[in-house]
């Protein structure tokens, strides 16, 4: 293992957290993973630090002294599109849909594994670097998956899979937002239109069929994951074995 190359700028993470035990573990863990962590211990401090420094990603605890994570998220988002990952405690009453609406990119629940957190951080950063997983003229691709947008064709390992119109639109939307949780409302709205009044099961049926076509094992989906109670996410980080 070589030390990180000195010319490579370390990724700066603003960690907004008020629990000392987490702060310590995070600072050490993130440093080991090649991140520079700056700590803010309450909501006001978080906003002050955000205004002073330049950060690549913000890790934002929800329950904070002075200003809630929700308020911090809203304020930061009004000024910047820096990726924000919400951290909530298990059992906390959290409206994930609201979180995403005020501009959070993703979230993790405490207690989490550092590996999971780092994967989430890398995923939001990768998304910011290239908004589409891989874009070349009218092609959208990730891993074994390739979509030819104009021709409306989809390939898995170079073998064409026939998608219906809505399935194509749904997969495209997911692939255009790699690593991002898309709420059921957003998906239905964007694929079926805001005046759609049908059964929301329709979305699940479409997802199920997409999985049967693009997933290696549709019963254990690795590309389109379900975010319970919220929506779906196209995974850019394969769970490591
Ligand atoms: Ca807290």
State pLDDT tens for residues 25-76: 999 999 999 999 999 999 999 999 999 989 999 999 999 999 999 999 999 9
Distance (Å, whole) CA 58 – CA 145: 30
Does 72 share its domain with 113?
yes
Distance of CA 191 to the CA centre of its chain: 20
Range of the domain at 216: 133-234
CA distances from 13 to 45, 65, 66, 98, 122 (A): 15, 20, 21, 23, 11
CA distances from 3 to 6, 22, 27 (A): 8, 25, 18
Tell me how far the alpha carbon of residue 17 lies from the centroid of ligand 1, in angstroms: 6
- Do the beta carbons of residue 147 and residue 157 sit within 8 Å? no
Looking at 101, 129, 157, the residue that finishes a domain is 129
Tell me how far the alpha carbon of residue 43 lies from the centroid of ligand 1, in angstroms: 10
Distance (Å, whole) CA 61 – CA 88: 6
Predicted confidence (pLDDT) per residue in 97-132, tens digit: 788 888 898 888 888 889 989 988 988 887 776 555
Position 3 in a domain = no
Does 117 share its domain with 35?
yes
Tell me how far the alpha carbon of residue 103 lies from the centroid of ligand 1, in angstroms: 19
The pLDDT, as a whole number, for residue 240 is: 41
Does 109 share its domain with 168?
no
Q: Do the strands 159-161 and 153-156 form a parallel or antiparallel pair, or are they unpaired?
A: antiparallel
pLDDT beyond 80 at 211: yes
Tell me how far the alpha carbon of residue 93 lies from the centroid of ligand 1, in angstroms: 13
Tell me how far the alpha carbon of residue 48 lies from the centroid of ligand 1, in angstroms: 18
Position 2 in a domain = no
Looking at 100, 129, 158, the residue that finishes a domain is 129
Does 139 share its domain with 230?
yes
Distance (Å, whole) CA 109 – CA 71: 19
CATH no. for residue 44?
3.40.50.2300
CATH no. for residue 157?
1.10.10.10
Position 147 in a domain = yes
Tell me how far the alpha carbon of residue 88 lies from the centroid of ligand 1, in angstroms: 8
Position 121 in a domain = yes
Q: Looking at the 3D structure of the chain, how many domains does it have?
A: 2
Does 47 share its domain with 143?
no
Does 112 share its domain with 147?
no
Position 186 in a domain = yes
Tell me how far the alpha carbon of residue 86 lies from the centroid of ligand 1, in angstroms: 11
Distance (Å, whole) CA 179 – CA 176: 9
Map 78-123 to HEC letters.
Answer: HHCCCCEEEEEECCCCCCHHHHHHCCCCEEEEECCCHHHHHHHHHH
Tell me how far the alpha carbon of residue 213 lies from the centroid of ligand 1, in angstroms: 42
Q: Write down the residue that tokens 């409206």 correspond to.
A: 95
Position 219 in a domain = yes
The pLDDT, as a whole number, for residue 9 is: 81
Does 116 share its domain with 173?
no
Longest dimension (CA), the chain: 56
Position 75 in a domain = yes
Does 60 share its domain with 149?
no
The pLDDT, as a whole number, for residue 220 is: 93
Tell me how far the alpha carbon of residue 67 lies from the centroid of ligand 1, in angstroms: 11
The pLDDT, as a whole number, for residue 237 is: 65
Predicted confidence (pLDDT) per residue in 168-188, tens digit: 999 999 988 888 889 898 899
Residue 86 main-chain phi, psi, to 5 deg:
-85, 140
Tell me how far the alpha carbon of residue 37 lies from the centroid of ligand 1, in angstroms: 17
Does 50 share its domain with 119?
yes
The pLDDT, as a whole number, for residue 239 is: 44
Looking at 114, 129, 144, the residue that finishes a domain is 129
Does 149 share its domain with 168?
yes
Beta-carbon-side half-sphere exposure of residue 146 (alpha carbons within 13 Å) = 13
Tell me how far the alpha carbon of residue 19 lies from the centroid of ligand 1, in angstroms: 6
Does 77 share its domain with 109?
yes
Tell me how far the alpha carbon of residue 70 lies from the centroid of ligand 1, in angstroms: 12
Q: Do the strands 181-183 and 231-234 form a parallel or antiparallel pair, or are they unpaired?
A: antiparallel
Position 241 in a domain = no
DSSP state of 27: H
Tell me how far the alpha carbon of residue 106 lies from the centroid of ligand 1, in angstroms: 17
Does 43 share its domain with 93?
yes
Distance (Å, whole) CA 84 – CA 208: 29
């Amino acid at each position: 293992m070589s030390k990180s190359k000195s010319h490579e700028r370390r990724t700066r993470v603003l960690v907004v957290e008020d629990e000392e035990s987490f702060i310590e573990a995070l600072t050490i863990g993130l440093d080991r993973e090649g991140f520079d962590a700056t700590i803010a211990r309450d909501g006001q401090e978080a906003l002050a630090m955000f205004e002073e420094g330049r950060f690549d990603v913000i890790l934002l605890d929800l329950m904070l002294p002075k200003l809630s994570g929700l308020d911090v998220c809203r304020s930061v988002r009004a000024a910047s599109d820096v990726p924000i990952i919400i951290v909530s405690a298990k059992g906390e009453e959290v409206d994930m849909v609201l979180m995403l609406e005020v501009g959070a990119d993703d979230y993790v629940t405490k207690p989490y594994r550092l590996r999971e957190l780092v994967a989430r951080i890398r995923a939001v950063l990768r998304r910011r670097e290239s908004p589409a997983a891989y874009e070349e003229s009218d092609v959208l691709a990730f891993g074994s998956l390739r979509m030819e947008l104009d021709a409306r064709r989809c390939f898995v390992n170079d073998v064409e899979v026939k998608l219906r119109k809505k399935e194509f639109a749904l997969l495209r939307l997911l692939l255009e937002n790699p690593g991002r949780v898309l709420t059921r409302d957003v998906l239905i709205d964007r694929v079926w239109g805001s005046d759609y009044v049908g059964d929301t099961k329709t979305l699940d049926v479409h997802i199920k069929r997409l999985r049967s076509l693009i997933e290696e094992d549709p019963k254990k989906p690795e590309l389109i994951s379900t975010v319970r109670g919220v929506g779906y996410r196209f995974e850019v980080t394969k769970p490591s074995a």
